[in-house]
Amino acid sequence: MTNQTYKTHRRLHPPYHFFAAPILGLNLIWAVVRAVRFPTVENSWQVLVAIALGIVCWVARSYPLKVQDRLISLEERLRITRHLPGELGGRVSELRPGQLVALRFCADHELAEIVQEVFDKKLTRRDEIKRRIKTWRPDNFRV
């Protein structure tokens, strides 16, 4: 595996991103075009089915990501409590799930510094936390 960095950490899942989602998007466009050109109950129904299929595809992708974020939050709470000095480690309950998910990329030796910045500068967006990380801890298990 190559080293993971801020620029390379996002993961595309080819069956979803390059096959299922585009096909369902094209199907929706095709159904709308047909419904506009030939307004029938059947063609209108096909638009609704195309929308429903798109929602199912999105939900099928988003639910595992949500569960994964919850697991990452738990792992990071344990790691922060274990690695950070007293007061800072004791404030782990103040961190939001999104902040914890971003902190998973932070190496142990700079964790205290980054967490302190999160509290001091009130960093809430995952992106702004990830950009501050100097030593990247790869997460190769992302769904």
Torsion of CA 30, 31, 32, 35, to 10 degrees: 120
The pLDDT, as a whole number, for residue 2 is 61
Q: What would the mean pLDDT of 117-135 be, rounded to a whole number?
A: 89
Q: What would the mean pLDDT of 113-131 be, rounded to a whole number?
A: 90
The answer to whether residue 131 scores a pLDDT higher than 60 is yes
pLDDT digits (tens, 9 = 90+) for 78-121: 998 888 888 888 888 889 999 999 999 999 899 999 999 999 88
CA-derived radius of gyration, the chain:
21
In this structure, are residues 79 and 114 in contact, taking their beta carbons and an 8 Å threshold? no
Enter the tokens of residue 130: 């990830």
Torsion of CA 77, 82, 87, 88, to 10 degrees: -50
Note the pTM of the prediction, 2 decimals. 0.74
**Amino acid occupying residue 41:** V
Whole-angstrom Cα distance, residue 44 to residue 10?
Answer: 37
Q: What would the mean pLDDT of 65-82 be, rounded to a whole number?
A: 91
The answer to whether residue 25 scores a pLDDT higher than 80 is yes
Torsion of CA 67, 68, 72, 73, to 10 degrees: -30
Q: What would the mean pLDDT of 45-53 be, rounded to a whole number?
A: 98
**Amino acid occupying residue 120:** D
